[in-house]
Chain A
Amino acid sequence: MSLNKSNNWSIALVMLLSIALCIGIGLSVGSSGLESLQNAWHDEVAWQIIWDIRLPRTLGALAAGALLGLAGALAQGLFRNPLADPYLLGSASGATLGVALALAFFGGNQLATEVLVRVGLTGAAFVGALLAVVLTLVLAKGVQHTMRLLLAGVIVGVVMGAMASLISLMRPDILQNMQGFLLGSTAFIGWSACIVMACFLIPCLCFAWFFGFAMDALSLGESTAVSLGVPLRAMRMVIVLLVALATGTAVAQTGLIAFVGLAAPHLVRSIASVKSGSLALLSALMGGLLLLLADILARSLIAPQELPVGVLTAVLGGGYLLWLMYRNQNQGALG
């Protein structure tokens, strides 16, 4: 028992060190390269680049990745399905619809558009994501049957996506705005976005850690979990709520970044076997690291231009998983 625990701690430590290293790298790469860092002491603009642009962007990528990784681990625990991702409950489409509605209704006045739309889009995306999950819960008549929940989530996702498409058809002028907002990107994260994400990340992490035992019990089977006195219904509600909050927050700030939520828990499981509580925490770290790396590569590979960060998360995460599969195949072990 002690061996496992110290193993987990050392893994967490290694990840934290890597993150610290990446933050350092993140401060040094960008369109103006290392010289911004060097000039930061005496050049006001260079300082602004480091402090106001690179640092919040780097920390924001970390926070968003952590939120997505955590949500992914929770979703996979909730549905007891390794292919689950945080968008399964319909939150992605809900955010899309929220953004579409906000744009459609606020497009009139130029000033209203500028102020409300920019600030309100974040809130609209967040509220949309949450409402989609609530709708999923209503459709599934509660959290009792995960299959029904899954199905309801897929339905809500598809229907809301269709409604968002309909709105953008009726008002094609919002299309560019919508696409711009929803395209996964870490490029526009400022300090306010960072702080909002951190405000949601910390309680979500705490909850996931404390309720890990419920997910462990659940992994032994529903009847076993109930027989052990686990308040399954309440636990599932809490987990769904956590997934909705974490996903909604991340999507509202960075748009739709795929794959981080799905890959992070798998990446963690490939290097350690952990209980659900630890898995959630380590998945958050892993997700943060993944998105952080992707963000750094996005800005440095073809600097001064940028690659879309979603492409890099897929390449990094997917590449590693492919390599794992290949290695397992060769070793003949089960994955």
Chain B
Amino acid sequence: MSETSIAIQSSNILVSLNGQEVLHGIDLQIRAGLWTSIVGPNGSGKSTLLKALAGLLEFHGEVLVFDAPLNSFKAKVRAQQISWLGQNEVTSDDLNVWDVVMLGRLPYQDWMAVPSSQDIQAVETALQATQSWDWRQRRLGQLSAGEKQRVLLARAIAVQAPLTLMDEPLTNLDPPHQVNWLEQVRCLTSQGKTVVSVLHEVGMALHADDMVVIQAGRIVHQGACSEPTTHRAIEAVFDNRIAIQSIHSHWIAVPNLLRSR
């Protein structure tokens, strides 16, 4: 494989939440222009790690984003460089779809927040990409859970940042829209953008380029998704209750029912 540049480089990340250490010294490298998936069992610290990489948590250690320390970024610059899609914490039902996605353009707007033609273009593109264009005037409160998720995804896409971090982006999405999401990510990487996702659906995660396997706050394995070592690492981390197999040149995770206890 040709030498791709590193989008994120972290060394010895330590994160404590509520007095307990959750991440114990994470060293990882995320390659630029590719899609990296982070998998691991519940409570392994996946979301925490992603938040730390996005600069949303306090951590010890160093994170370099495009070779610059994360702490050195000014808030607005960081907002333009890193797009974040977190788990659904929406509290207001009053905003309409268009306004929600337009919020993704905040990093480019001054305080008067008047949308430029570029902003409008970005919002339109994002809405089209998530098939949300037709109901852009509807309020969040009138949408189903899946529709809401697509709108939030559009919001993240509208930022048009070179690095996109997504935490459980497939929540509430039905299979066709999960596939759309996959296509979206491929579209982003084809534009040279970097995507990092935390997914608990291992089957979907296996479609990524690179995989980071994490367990109990430590990195167990980093490598390409097609590598057998990666597959063994995933199986091991899930107690061998799943087996990674290939069907039609796609990797899938199959429940391992044959193993006797």
Contact = CB atoms under 8 A, between A and B. Distances in A.
> Are A and B close enough to touch in the complex, i.e. CB under 8 Å?
yes
Interface of A: 1, 3-4, 80, 210, 213, 216-217, 219-224, 226-231, 269, 273-275, 279, 334
Nearest to B86: A223
B144 interface: no
Contacts of A274: 94
Contacts of A220: 89-90, 92, 100, 103, 152, 155
A213 B113 CA distance: 7
Contacts of A219: 90-92, 95
Nearest to B120: A1
A4 B96 contact: yes
Contacts of B109: 213
Contacts of A269: 94
Interface stretch (B62-70, B77-85, B186-194, B201-209): B77-85
B91 A213 contact: no
B78 A216 contact: no
A279 B89 contact: no
A229 B78 contact: yes
Nearest to A211: B111
B84 A223 contact: yes
Contacts of B92: 80, 216, 219-220
A229 B106 contact: yes
A275 B102 CA distance: 12
Contact of B98 (A1, A210, A223): A1
25 contacts: A4-B137, A80-B92, A210-B112, A213-B109, A216-B95, A216-B99, A216-B103, A219-B90, A219-B91, A219-B92, A220-B100, A220-B155, A222-B89, A224-B89, A227-B54, A227-B79, A227-B82, A229-B76, A229-B80, A231-B75, A273-B141, A275-B94, A275-B95, A275-B99, A334-B141
B51 to A, nearest CB: 7
Contacts of B76: 229
B106 A224 contact: no
B56 interface: yes
Contacts of A279: 94
B56 A227 contact: yes
B41 interface: no
B90 A223 contact: no
A228 B89 CA distance: 15
A169 B23 CA distance: 56
B103 A217 contact: yes
B33 to A, nearest CB: 21
A213 B92 CA distance: 13
B25 interface: no
A334 B55 CA distance: 37
A80 B92 CA distance: 8
B104 interface: yes
Given A223-B56, A224-B89, 4 more contacts: A217-B103, A221-B90, A227-B54, A273-B94
Contacts of A227: 54-56, 79, 82-84, 86
B218 interface: no
Contacts of A229: 75-76, 78-80, 106-107
A4 B102 CA distance: 15
B139 interface: yes
Contacts of A231: 75
Contacts of A223: 51, 54, 56, 84, 86, 89
B86 A273 contact: no
A273 B95 CA distance: 7
Contacts of A334: 141
Nearest to B93: A273
Interface in B120-164: 136-137, 139, 141, 152, 155, 159
Nearest to B165: A227
B120 to A, nearest CB: 9
A144 to B, nearest CB: 11
A273 B90 CA distance: 16
B93 to A, nearest CB: 8
Contacts of A222: 89
A334 B103 CA distance: 26
Contacts of B155: 220, 224
Contacts of B83: 227
Among A216, A224, A228, A334, chain B packs the most CB atoms within 10 A around the CB of: A228
A1 B100 CA distance: 12
A213 B98 CA distance: 14
Nearest to B139: A273
A312 to B, nearest CB: 28
A219 B140 CA distance: 11
A221 B103 contact: no
A229 B77 CA distance: 8
A228 B106 contact: yes
B94 A224 contact: no
A80 B78 contact: no
A170 to B, nearest CB: 44
Given A213-B106, A213-B113, A269-B94, A224 B139 contact: no
Interface string B226-243: 000000000000000000
A224 B159 CA distance: 12
A55 to B, nearest CB: 36
A44 to B, nearest CB: 50
A1 to B, nearest CB: 5
Given A223-B56, A273-B139, A230 B89 contact: no
